[in-house]
Amino acid sequence: MAYVAVSGGEEAIEESIRLLDFYRSGTDKDLETEAIENKLSLLVDRVMSEAGLYAKTLAVLALKQCEGSMEEAVFLLRAYRSTLTRNYYTRVVDTEGMRLTRRISAAFKDIAGGQILGATYDYTHRLIDFDIGRETPAALRRRIAETLAAQAPEDITPCPRVSAELKKEGLIDGFAQSDQAPHDVTVHTLEFPAGRSARLQTLSRADTGFISGLAYSALRGFGQAHPTVGELRCGYAELCLPYPLDETESVYIGEIMITEVECFNAADGKNQLGLAAGYGAVFGRSETKAIAMAVLDRELEAGGPYPAQDEEFVLTHGDSLEMNGFISHLKLPHYVTFQSKLDAVRKRRSAP
Amino acid sequence: MDGMADDMDRKRMTRILARADRRDVAALAAEIQKTHAPIVVKEPGKTLAMIKMREPVKESLFYIGETVVCEASVEIGGVRGMAVLMGGDPEKTLDMAIIDAAVNKGVFTGAATLLALEKGQLERIKRENAMHLKTMVNFESMDRGSDDLAADKKTRF
């Protein structure tokens, strides 16, 4: 018998849940949801990305409710999402036409549209700024508003992908557009070998730490050679739906911030003269995750003996809810199974 | 769409309304309600929209994730209108559905207001864009004497 239900502990559990408020009550200062959304946006982005749900207000509430625990916030968003119907599918998002806030290439210094550093911590000194503790929010906001007002408006110009040019030159294989309906891992169980759409959806909502570690392992020698970031772009992509009363028309429902990456490797095997690309796309400004996704996309495409190249290993162990849930279950009572293990050890010890 | 400029399609109209402050949208809906009595067909309610993307490597489709939207539907004089909006603002969604019904009925008179709102929105977006474009990198080759520059020209696009 593997599992036996136990009863009791209800009052202790209720008190334990009440005690969580003690840990949230350490100061009279409130953590305003508007402030979390606007000042901890990278944290909010990560919650939305790992939950697979772009919903800023809900992600903020979830973070506040669980003292900033990433895994609990993801759990709360996934649980909330499971209470809703899904009435809509967007039209295909045009990321090539997105309003860019950052765009760089490690492969070419001159790219059409230029390299836009945007807002990045890449070039900052990693020294704690003690003035932040005394910062006046209103003064900061006023300063930025004045800077914005002083700008001469610049037209938005979409930039072509770096890979598009390499495809024209035949250095990267081009493919005809496929409109095959994607696999949806939130509806259908992931099966192996997984289709490309299932792989990309799974990686995009995976735990950032898990896929970053796996991509790192591939770069350190447990995978293919060092890839080059052909293009990393962040920006706002518009979401549109078919107008429900006339599907020939579209309605705009809002925009999402996403990070998109294409990595280039030398193509292996029969195509030594070409390059191969890996792709990553994630909610929010999550560059490391997007790069890691692109690295793993290429590793899984190539296949091989290493963990980062093993589809089942990569795609079944990186979901925040599943991995944290399974590890957490070890905390629950295992009295009977452990007693049985103990009995077996005692018997072996007492055997002549 | 009646009463609108020729290039004002539904996507552009909903983009302006979605980006607008909810008070501006409420004012447009209130103007319609002075002369018409919208009937709510579907109360504002939350649902999900799955976001479909095309990846550039194999040009195939995949789902990046979902978003929460609010949807509502109304009728003005037997003509339907509806709205779907990211986030969970039921009042704004209902007001957008009223405006949509008024447009479909041909009784919307706020075209000029929409254009004014759009002008302000675009100006702000373009000013933000200007701030970002200031971070554009101007590379200068450090080694003009070598073949690198020639090679670089080949890869310039």
Average pLDDT, integer, range A64-76? 97
Rounded Cα distance between A54 and B87, Å, is 9
Between chains, do A163 and B56 touch, taking CB under 8 Å as contact?
A: yes
Q: Return the higher-pLDDT residue of B125 and A169.
A: B125
Report the residue of chain A nearest B132, measured CA to CA.
A118
pLDDT in tens, A139-161: 999 999 999 999 999 999 989 99
Between chains, do A92 and B52 touch, taking CB under 8 Å as contact?
A: yes
CB A283 within 8 A of CB B86: no
For chain A, the distance separating the N- and C-terminal CA atoms, rounded to the nearest angstrom, is: 28
Beta bridge partners of B62: B53
Q: Is the pLDDT of residue B156 over 60?
A: no
Give me A62's structure tokens: 């979830």
Q: What is the pLDDT of residue A270?
A: 56
Q: What is the pLDDT of residue A8?
A: 79
Q: What is the pLDDT of residue B77?
A: 96
How far from A242 is each of A26, A259, A303, B86, CA to CA, in Å? 48, 25, 38, 14
Q: What is the pLDDT of residue A203?
A: 98
Q: What percent of chain B has pLDDT over 70?
A: 88
Between helix A70-81 and helix A56-65 the angle, nearest 10°, is 130
Question: Predicted confidence band at A89 (pLDDT cuts at 50, 70, 90)?
Answer: very high
Rounded Cα distance between A2 and A334, Å, is 9
Q: What is the pLDDT of residue B88?
A: 84
Q: What is the pLDDT of residue B79?
A: 97
Question: Predicted confidence band at B110 (pLDDT cuts at 50, 70, 90)?
Answer: very high
What average pLDDT does the structure give for chain A?
Answer: 93
Q: What is the ipTM of this complex?
A: 0.94
Angle, vertex CA B29, rays to CA B27 and CA B34, nearest 5:
95
Q: What is the pLDDT of residue A336?
A: 84
Average pLDDT, integer, range A44-50? 98
Neighbour-count burial for B100-130, b at 16+ CB within 10 Å, e otherwise? bbbbbbebbebbebbeebbeebbeebbbbbb
Q: What is the pLDDT of residue B155?
A: 40
Min Cα distance B124 → chain A (Å) is 8
Min Cα distance B34 → chain A (Å) is 25
Rounded Cα distance between B77 and A30, Å, is 48
pLDDT in tens, A303-336: 999 999 999 999 999 999 999 999 999 998 888 8
Min Cα distance B31 → chain A (Å) is 22
Residue B88 with chain A: CB contacts under 8 Å: 57-58
Give me A210's structure tokens: 């898990």
Q: What is the pLDDT of residue A273?
A: 66
Between chains, do B156 and A110 touch, taking CB under 8 Å as contact?
A: yes
Residue B122 with chain A: CB contacts under 8 Å: 153
Average pLDDT, integer, range A109-130? 94
Neighbour-count burial for B20-45, b at 16+ CB within 10 Å, e otherwise? beeebbbebbebbeeeeebeeeeebe
Among A81, A100, A244, the residue with its CB nearest the CB of B48 is: A81
Q: What is the pLDDT of residue B153?
A: 41
Q: Is the pLDDT of residue B147 over 70?
A: no
Give me B113's structure tokens: 């207001």
Determine which of A46-50, A207-211, A275-279, B2-6 has the lowest per-residue pLDDT on average.
B2-6
Between chains, do B48 and A84 touch, taking CB under 8 Å as contact?
A: yes
What average pLDDT does the structure give for chain B?
Answer: 90
Rounded Cα distance between A184 and A71, Å, is 22
Q: Is the pLDDT of residue A1 over 50?
A: no
Contacts of A192 (CB under 8 A, 6+ apart): A311, A312, A315
Q: Is the pLDDT of residue B132 over 90?
A: yes
Q: Is the pLDDT of residue B136 over 50?
A: yes
Side-chain half-sphere CA neighbours of A12 within 13 A: 3
Angle, vertex CA A329, rays to CA A325 and CA A334, nearest 5:
170
Work out the burial of residue A155: count CB atoms within 10 Å of its CB; fewer than 13 is exposed, 13-18 middle, 19 or more buried: exposed
Q: Is the pLDDT of residue A233 over 90?
A: yes
Q: What is the pLDDT of residue B7?
A: 81
Between chains, do B52 and A179 touch, taking CB under 8 Å as contact?
A: no
Q: What is the pLDDT of residue B143?
A: 59
Q: Is the pLDDT of residue A188 over 60?
A: yes
Q: What is the pLDDT of residue A4?
A: 65
Average pLDDT, integer, range A51-75? 97
pLDDT in tens, B33-83: 999 999 999 999 999 999 999 999 999 999 999 999 999 999 999 999 999
Average pLDDT, integer, range A230-256? 97
Q: Which of residues 27-86 of B touch A (CB under 8 A)?
A: 46-69, 71, 80-86
